Amino acid sequence: MSAVNAAHAARKALEGLWPTEPFFDALEQYVALLLEANETINLTRVVEPDAVARLHLLDALAALPLLDALGPTNAIDLGSGGGVPGLPLAIARRSVPWTLVDSSAKKATLLRRFADELALANVSVRAERAELLGRASAHRERYDLVTARACAALPVLAEYALPLLQPGGHLVAWKGPLLENDAEVRAGNTACALLGGGPLRLADAGHDALGARRFVIVEKLSPTAAGFPRRPGVPARRPLG
């Protein structure tokens, strides 16, 4: 099945859940771009139309009520890869400036092309490691919202994300069926406390089609100490939690 046909199938699978025009036109175009590019560079293993609709589009857009309640004035998406969740969210909320980050220069180049072809003036792209961005004055504690899907375990993700948040901002992470007493959550709470964050909060995605998908929300309470994030690679090798 062609990328264009897959995009149309994704639209049909999502109809009735989200606004239709011109929102869906942009989503169709994004899916077509993603699947076409995926033929030459590995961006996603999800290519069947119903799976694209559920595991990429619906999964990203399920966070909209949560994000709207937080009301960010700017946002940064870590580990953007092929653009999920950042690009669907940027399509849905064009008034919010989004920075998409991926350490792969090839993927960042594709993300820039996607944003250009989708006419997303609210999207910029950085080919950079999160640890370096978190130490750069142009990005450290400059954002209201950090999003991340399938990026890292919570204690590692906290060290990537919290230095980028200004106090009062929030991290929203896409996760599976976590419980409050899971080891990853406990370790994440330990890391967040060291980085100026509050306790982790868990929220259900709210759609049966997404199964046990949960969002992890962390509020930034105070500035992050100057020693964080540590050098590239250290957070993953020696998690704070």
Q: Which stretch of DSSP H or E encloses residue 174?
A: strand 165-175
Parallel/antiparallel/unpaired status of strands 75-78 and 98-102: parallel
More confident residue, 38 or 232: 232
| Amino acid (1-letter code) at residue 108 | A
Kindly indicate the confidence band of residue 206, based on its pLDDT and cuts at 50, 70 and 90.
Answer: confident
| 73-128 pLDDT tens trace | 999 999 999 999 999 999 999 999 999 999 999 999 999 999 999 999 999 999 99
* 186 pLDDT more than 60: yes
pLDDT for res 55: 82
pLDDT for res 28: 85
Residue 130 Cα distances to 80, 113, 154, 206, 235, angstroms? 11, 21, 14, 29, 10
Relative orientation angle of helices 183-195 and 154-161, to the nearest 10 degrees: 20
| Amino acid (1-letter code) at residue 111 | L
Place of tokens 């011109």: 22
| 139-161 pLDDT tens trace | 999 999 999 998 999 999 999 99
Dihedral pair phi/psi, residue 15, rounded to 5°: -60, 140
Q: Where are the domains of the chain?
A: 54-237
pLDDT for res 1: 45
Is pTM beyond 0.85? Reply is yes
Q: How many residues would you count in the chain?
A: 241
| 9-37 pLDDT tens trace | 666 666 665 655 678 888 888 988 998 89
Superfamily of domain 54-237: Vaccinia Virus protein VP39 (3.40.50.150)
